[in-house]
Amino acid sequence: MAIPAIESIYVPTLAWISRIEPMTAMEKLFVVELPRGQSLGHKPGQFVQISVCGVGEAPISISSSPSRSNGKFEMCVRKVGDVTSALHRMKEGDQIGVRGPFGRGFPIEQFEGRDILIAAGGLALAPVRSVINQVLDNRKKYGRFIILYGAKTPAELLFKEERDEWKRRDDVEYLETVDRGTPDWTGNVGVITTLFPKIAVNPRNTIAITEGPPVMYRFVIMELLGKGIPEDQIWVSLERRMKCGVGKCGHCQIDHFYCCQHGPSFNYAEIKGVMEAI
Amino acid sequence: MSLKIINTSDLLPFVSRMMSEYEVIGPVANDTGFKFATLTDASQLRLDYNTTVIPPRKALLPTRETLFTFRSDMHTVAPAFDMKWRVLLGVHTCDLHAMCMLDEAFARGQPDTHYMKRRATTAIISLECLDPCDEHSFCKSMNTLTATSGFDLHLIGLGEFYAVDVGTTAGEALLANHAKTHDATRAEIALLDKAMSQKWAKFPARLHLDGKDLPALMGVSYKSPLWEEIGKRCLACGSCNIVCPTCYCFDVQDDVSFDGKTGERYRVWDSCQLDAFARIGSGENFRKTRAQRLRHRFMRKGKYIAEAFPGHQGCVGCGRCARACLVDITPVDVWNSLHKDHA
């Protein structure tokens, strides 16, 4: 029996950090360049597995939109574990391993012609930004574009320049809030659900996308359902421990779903009866 | 494919001849019973074994397996594959059914070439049980007490001779190259038929329902108070996962050499019963309690796998988890109790 040449789904592609931008005390934005200028070929809402050899591998969501790829992709990384701490110690030009993109992203082309409502909490603005910029770069294909963003404190708000642009644009309805203000903070104070009374939507024509810390989902989904948005027009992205990214290792399993394959993007109709999902 | 006969006196010479070409892994005796190990002498083989603590899946999915090696400067990464040719001998049909499920799980979607490479270079010679192994197995309920496929060769020990069911051309070649066989005579076929029909009555159906109905039972059992009850007893030790022939979840870790220049990424068996299994970097744990983790395990065994891989089951009734559990949480008790609640 001849043994054919074999490749491993676990071996990463070697890539380079081409730029690092500090964002907050805990988060940095990494611009990653793939070999030979190849494109990652991702959809908004997908993720990659990032390797720092000798330390390990961690699932990181892709923060850049396909519309702005140019042979590079961006990821906003919070320093929380071994791999993310190692990434934070790295410099521009350092090498990392990349596998992916993995999972089901948001079916953004199916949302064309609809109003888009985004509700992002904390670090989740990073993955949702891949949707936001895709919509902004194809702005005419979509209806109203509403972005709601909440963070714990003003210092934790990400992507300042981009948020300033959203505030300026008259084709984006952007609202932000913080859980706890500071003396110089003049904006909204309160959790993200306090922004919902400030907006009116046409529920039949609205696609809602929400992403945030686990505790946020049930409250935001309640607000969205309360506005009359149908269950299958409410999209979430669920965070789980994705170790292999290819539906084998079992860590990300939610009921019968492997979050890394069937998700991380789900619409609410798919997961509302699934215990442990929300 | 066909039925051949090996005289019992010719079996060990057959094993010896295979050992001269391949690594042959089979059941051998140890201090407490039996285990699957690489044979160094054909006489070590114990085809009369009842069961083993660790299932033979370790031959296909080693407890620790290198996925690739790297240089710490990250300029080279090389996948690692096990290139050895093996014969896995004496696999009971419960474990054989489990391996067929593993084959599907690793081939599905993006194929896991590490598993599949090893599987493609491993011949499986399974073995029919003619008597139940002990009070914990429930293979009859799970429809795994015999097998018609999944093996290269399948042995049925009938005293003076072994009937050999040839499953694949690879199995046929093993026999042709290494064994002294003859075609079954009518008398031998009659003895085989008799043993197979007598066997059926010897095995008790310990579940109060058919294994095929477990997905439906589990579907209505999410909110059963049983999970909290057994969750209070469970020690979250993970033994049930480690001894399970259908468990295949793994963790992935890195190891660096002392000089810091080279290293490897490897996978190791993991357990969904351990606290950290579903915990993410931020500290959030998606299955915090033992009750949740036990429910997840029984859902996988009774429902998720059967539904994800039609024709396969997440539990093959081998009874190993029941033998290993320190607090007597057994699948037979759990499923009979849930069945009683919904009868």
pLDDT tens for each residue of B271-320? 999 999 999 988 999 999 999 999 999 999 999 999 999 999 999 999 99
Token pair, residue A188, equals: 């909204």
Whether B176 and B245 map to the same domain: the answer is no
Report d(CA B241, CA B165) in Å as an integer: 32
Q: Last residue of some domain: B161, B177, B202?
A: B202
Q: By three-state DSSP, how is residue B322 classified?
A: helix
CB contact, 8 Å: B118 with chain A? no
**Cα torsion angle, A111, A113, A118, A123, sign:** positive
**Taking CB atoms and an 8 Å limit, are B79 and A7 in contact across chains?**
yes
pLDDT recorded at residue B204: 94
**Taking CB atoms and an 8 Å limit, are A54 and B72 in contact across chains?**
yes
Report d(CA A246, CA A49) in Å as an integer: 10
Q: What are the pLDDT digits (tens) for A2-41?
A: 444 568 999 999 999 999 999 999 999 999 999 988 999 9
The stretch A180-207 carries a mean pLDDT of 97
- Residues of A within 8 A of B296 (CB-CB) are 253, 276
Residue B261 maps to a domain:
yes
- Cα nearest neighbour of B173 on chain A: A1
Whether B285 and B147 map to the same domain: the answer is no
Whether B109 and B243 map to the same domain: the answer is no
Residue B68 maps to a domain:
no
Whether B21 and B95 map to the same domain: the answer is yes
What's the total number of domains in chain B?
2
Token pair, residue A166, equals: 């959203």
ipTM of the complex: 0.93
Report d(CA B181, CA B14) in Å as an integer: 10
pLDDT recorded at residue B74: 58
CB contact, 8 Å: B105 with chain A? yes
Whether B195 and B219 map to the same domain: the answer is no
Whether B157 and B260 map to the same domain: the answer is no
Whether B231 and B197 map to the same domain: the answer is no
Residue A197: C-alpha distances to residues A30, A201, B343 (Å): 36, 11, 49
Q: What is the pLDDT along chain B (343 residues), one digit of tens a residue?
A: 689 999 999 999 999 999 999 999 999 999 999 999 999 999 999 999 999 999 999 999 999 999 999 987 657 788 889 889 999 999 999 999 999 999 999 999 999 999 999 999 999 999 999 999 999 999 999 999 999 999 999 999 999 999 999 999 999 999 999 999 999 999 999 999 999 999 999 999 999 999 999 999 999 999 999 999 999 999 999 999 999 999 999 999 999 998 888 999 999 999 999 999 999 988 999 999 999 999 999 999 999 999 999 999 999 999 999 999 999 999 999 999 999 998 7
Q: Last residue of some domain: B184, B202, B220?
A: B202
CB B98 within 8 A of CB B315: no
Cross-strand partners of B126: B91, B154
pLDDT recorded at residue A1: 38
Whether B189 and B271 map to the same domain: the answer is no
Residue B70 maps to a domain:
no
- Residues of B within 8 A of A78 (CB-CB) are 282
Residue B97 maps to a domain:
yes
Residue B72 maps to a domain:
no
Whether B57 and B194 map to the same domain: the answer is yes
CB A212 within 8 A of CB A124: yes
Rounded to a whole number of angstroms, the distance from the CA of A91 to the nearest CA of chain B is: 14
Whether B181 and B40 map to the same domain: the answer is yes
Report d(CA A236, CA A256) in Å as an integer: 17
More confident of the two residues A91 and A53? A91
CB contact, 8 Å: B65 with chain A? no
What are chain A's domains? 13-102 (2.40.30.10), 108-237 (3.40.50.80)
Residue B71 maps to a domain:
no
- Residues of A within 8 A of B112 (CB-CB) are 9, 246, 248
Residue B250 maps to a domain:
yes
Q: What are the pLDDT digits (tens) for A244-258?
A: 999 999 999 999 999
Token pair, residue A42, equals: 């991702």
Whether B142 and B229 map to the same domain: the answer is no
- Residues of B within 8 A of A261 (CB-CB) are 109
* Structural domain harbouring B227: 211-342
Rounded to a whole number of angstroms, the distance from the CA of B277 to the nearest CA of chain A is: 6
- Cα nearest neighbour of B272 on chain A: A251
Token pair, residue B56, equals: 């033979």
The stretch A39-68 carries a mean pLDDT of 95
- SS3 string, B274-313, reads CCCCCECCCCCECCCCHHHHHHHHHHHHHHHHHHHCCCCC
Q: Last residue of some domain: B183, B202, B221?
A: B202
Whether B165 and B278 map to the same domain: the answer is no
Q: What are all long-range contacts of A18-25, with beta carbons under 8 Å and residues at least 24 apart?
A: A18/A72, A18/A92, A18/A93, A19/A92, A20/A90, A20/A91, A20/A92, A23/A76, A23/A158, A23/A159, A24/A155, A24/A156, A24/A157, A24/A158, A25/A155
Name the H helices within chain A. Answer: 82-89, 125-137, 160-168, 216-226, 259-262, 268-271
Residue A171: C-alpha distances to residues A76, A144, A163, A227, B24 (Å): 26, 7, 13, 22, 70
pLDDT recorded at residue A120: 98
Given a cut of 50, whether residue A119 has pLDDT beyond it is: yes
- Cα nearest neighbour of B297 on chain A: A255
Looking at the partner chain, which of A9, A56, A261 has a beta carbon nearest the beta carbon of B113? A9
Report d(CA B13, CA B45) in Å as an integer: 12
The stretch A62-72 carries a mean pLDDT of 93
Residue B49 maps to a domain:
yes
**Cα torsion angle, A248, A241, B313, B93, sign:** positive
